C-alpha cells in the first residue's frame, strides 16, 4: 500500500526567500532527493533556520546538542509543528508552505515517526500497535493484523505479538515502534533520538541492529541525535546543527576527521585549532605557535585537526626529529578508558591522550609545566 500524498501539487521551484538553503553538500550517492526542506520556526528561544535534503535510500543524521532545534525540525517535517517560514517538499508535493498557504495535516503525510521513548500505546499489544496505522488508514481489521504480524516477524518479534508494551524490553519496544512506523509504507522515516531511551549496555547491540533494520527499509530516513557515535554508525551523511543553524554537513568520516566547529570537534574528540596559512609549510595559530605541516598550505584561513593521541608530552624541550613543540601548563586530567586525557593550557589549548604509565613517569599534575609536541604528518589542515 502506498498512502496517497494529498494536497495540491506544489510549485516545485517557487523558492521561498525567507529561508536560504545552506547545505554545503548535496544529497549523497543515493541520488534523487525525496525530502527537500527549508525549515523556519520560531519557538521560544529557538530560531530554527535549517535546510535539509534526504535522498532515496539515504540515511541522514541531524547531530546537535540539546536545544539545537533537532526535534523541532523533525516535528515540522511530520506536521506536528507548522512552519513560520520556508517550505517542505516530499516527492515533489508541498507539505507545508506558509507563503502559499499550504499545510498538509500530519495524518495525511506519508511520513513515519519513531519517537524518542517510542510512545507505544500502552493498552494495545504489540500486534495492535503495529496494526494501528493500517486500521487508521481504513484497512480491514484482519488484513491489518496479518500485515502487522508480518512486520513484527520480520523484525524478530514473532514471539511477542501479544505482549503489552510494559512487558517489552527497550530494544523490543524500539523494534515495535519501528514496525509500527514502517507498516504504513511511509516515503520518509523519521527517528527522534532512537537510542536515547536505552541503557548503555543495550545500546551497543541495538545500535548495530538498528543499522541493519534501517538498511533494509528502502525509503529515505532522517534521524536526529545528540550522540555522535549514533550518528557516525547509523548515517550515510551528517548534518551538524547548533542554535538552529547548520554548521557542517558531509559524510561521517569527513566530518569526524575535519570538524569545522569546536562543537563538532568536541563531539568527535578531536582538537581543533584555527590559524592562518603562511603560503609555505607552516600555519600561524591564533595562540602564536607556528606549526610546521606536511603539505603546503594554500588557503589563508585554515583549521588544523589534531588527534589527542598524536600529542606527546615531555619533561624538557624535545630535540631530534622534526616536530612542532611548545611549552604548556597541565590543566584538568581525567581518565578515559585505558588512557588519560590531559588538557593543556598555554599558547595552543589542546588535549593530549597518554598512557597512565607515561603520566606517572612525567609526574603530571594540574599546574605542572611540560613540553608538548606533534609530528607534522599528524596535523590535518583544511580550509575553514
Residues at the contact surface with another protein, assessed by CB under 8 A: 3, 75, 78-80, 105-109, 111-113, 115, 119, 121, 123, 132-133, 135-137, 180-181, 184
Burial classification of residue 212, based on how many CB atoms lie within 10 Å of its CB (0-12 exposed, 13-18 middle, 19 or more buried)? exposed
Least distance to another protein, CB of residue 253, Å: 32
CB nearer to another protein: pick between 75 and 258: 75
Cross-sheet strand order for the sheet of 85-90: 46-55, 33-43, 85-90, 93-97, 102-103
CB nearer to another protein: pick between 136 and 294: 136
Picking from 20, 30, 115, the residue whose alpha carbon sits closest to that of residue 74 is 115
User: Please, what's the largest Cα pairwise distance for the chain?
Assistant: 79
CB nearer to another protein: pick between 220 and 354: 220
Least distance to another protein, CB of residue 102, Å: 18
Query: How many Å apart are CA 283 and CA 303, to the nearest integer?
Result: 9
Least distance to another protein, CB of residue 134, Å: 8
What is residue 374's three-state secondary structure?
Answer: strand
User: What DSSP state is assigned to residue 289?
Assistant: P
Least distance to another protein, CB of residue 112, Å: 7
CB nearer to another protein: pick between 172 and 247: 172
What is residue 363's three-state secondary structure?
Answer: coil
CB nearer to another protein: pick between 5 and 358: 5
* Cβ neighbours of 251 (radius 10 Å): 15
Least distance to another protein, CB of residue 95, Å: 13
Least distance to another protein, CB of residue 184, Å: 6
CB nearer to another protein: pick between 144 and 240: 144
Least distance to another protein, CB of residue 8, Å: 19
Query: How many Å apart are CA 335 and CA 72, to the nearest integer?
Result: 36
CB nearer to another protein: pick between 80 and 202: 80
CB nearer to another protein: pick between 113 and 359: 113
Q: What is the CA radius of gyration of the chain?
A: 25
Least distance to another protein, CB of residue 123, Å: 5
β-strands 59-63, 46-55 pairing? unpaired
Burial classification of residue 205, based on how many CB atoms lie within 10 Å of its CB (0-12 exposed, 13-18 middle, 19 or more buried)? exposed
CB nearer to another protein: pick between 66 and 321: 66
Least distance to another protein, CB of residue 367, Å: 40
Q: Which residues does 139 contact at the CB level (< 8 Å), separation at least 6?
A: 1, 147
Query: How many Å apart are CA 94 and CA 109, to the nearest integer?
Result: 10
First CA to last CA distance, the chain: 47
Amino acid at each position: 500500500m502506498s498512502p496517497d500524498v494529498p494536497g495540491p501539487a506544489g510549485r516545485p521551484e517557487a523558492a521561498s526567500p525567507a529561508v536560504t538553503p545552506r547545505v554545503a553538500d548535496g544529497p549523497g550517492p543515493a541520488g534523487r532527493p525525496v525530502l527537500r526542506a527549508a525549515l523556519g520556526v520560531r519557538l521560544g528561544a529557538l530560531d530554527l533556520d535549517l535546510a535539509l535534503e534526504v535522498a532515496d535510500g539515504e540515511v541522514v543524521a541531524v547531530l546537535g546538542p540539546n536545544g539545537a532545534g533537532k526535534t523541532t525540525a523533525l516535528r515540522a517535517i511530520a506536521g506536528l509543528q507548522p512552519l513560520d517560514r520556508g517550505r517542505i517538499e516530499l516527492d515533489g508535493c508541498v507539505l507545508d508552505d506558509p507563503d502559499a498557504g499550504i499545510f498538509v495535516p500530519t495524518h495525511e503525510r506519508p511520513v513515519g515517526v519513531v519517537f524518542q521513548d517510542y510512545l507505544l500505546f500502552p493498552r494495545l499489544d504489540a500486534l495492535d500497535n503495529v496494526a494501528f496505522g493500517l486500521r487508521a488508514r481504513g484497512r480491514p481489521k484482519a488484513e491489518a493484523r496479518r500485515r502487522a504480524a508480518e512486520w513484527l516477524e520480520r523484525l524478530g518479534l514473532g514471539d511477542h505479538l501479544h505482549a503489552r508494551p510494559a512487558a517489552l524490553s527497550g530494544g523490543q519496544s524500539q523494534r515495535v515502534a519501528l514496525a509500527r512506523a514502517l507498516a504504513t509504507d511511509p516515503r520518509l522515516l523519521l527517528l527522534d533520538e532512537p537510542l536515547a531511551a536505552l541503557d548503555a549496555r543495550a545500546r551497543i547491540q541495538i545500535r548495530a541492529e538498528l543499522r541493519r533494520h534501517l538498511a533494509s527499509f528502502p525509503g529515505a530516513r532522517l534521524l536526529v541525535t545528540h550522540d555522535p557515535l549514533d550518528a557516525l554508525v547509523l548515517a550515510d551523511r551528517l548534518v551538524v546543527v547548533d542554535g538552529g543553524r547548520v554548521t557542517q554537513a558531509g559524510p561521517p568520516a569527513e566530518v569526524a576527521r575535519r570538524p569545522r566547529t569546536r562543537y563538532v570537534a568536541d563531539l568527535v574528540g578531536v582538537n581543533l585549532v584555527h590559524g592562518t596559512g603562511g603560503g609555505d609549510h607552516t600555519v600561524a595559530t591564533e595562540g602564536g605557535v607556528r606549526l610546521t605541516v606536511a603539505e603546503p598550505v594554500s588557503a589563508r584561513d585554515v583549521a588544523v585537526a589534531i588527534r589527542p593521541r598524536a600529542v606527546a608530552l615531555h619533561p624538557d624541550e624535545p630535540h631530534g626529529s622534526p616536530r612542532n613543540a611548545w611549552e604548556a601548563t597541565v590543566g584538568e586530567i581525567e581518565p578515559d578508558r585505558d588512557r588519560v586525557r590531559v588538557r593543556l593550557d598555554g599558547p595552543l589549548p589542546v588535549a593530549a591522550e597518554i598512557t597512565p604509565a607515561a603520566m606517572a613517569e612525567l609526574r603530571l599534575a594540574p599546574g605542572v609545566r611540560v613540553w608538548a609536541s606533534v609530528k607534522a604528518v599528524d596535523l590535518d589542515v583544511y580550509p575553514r
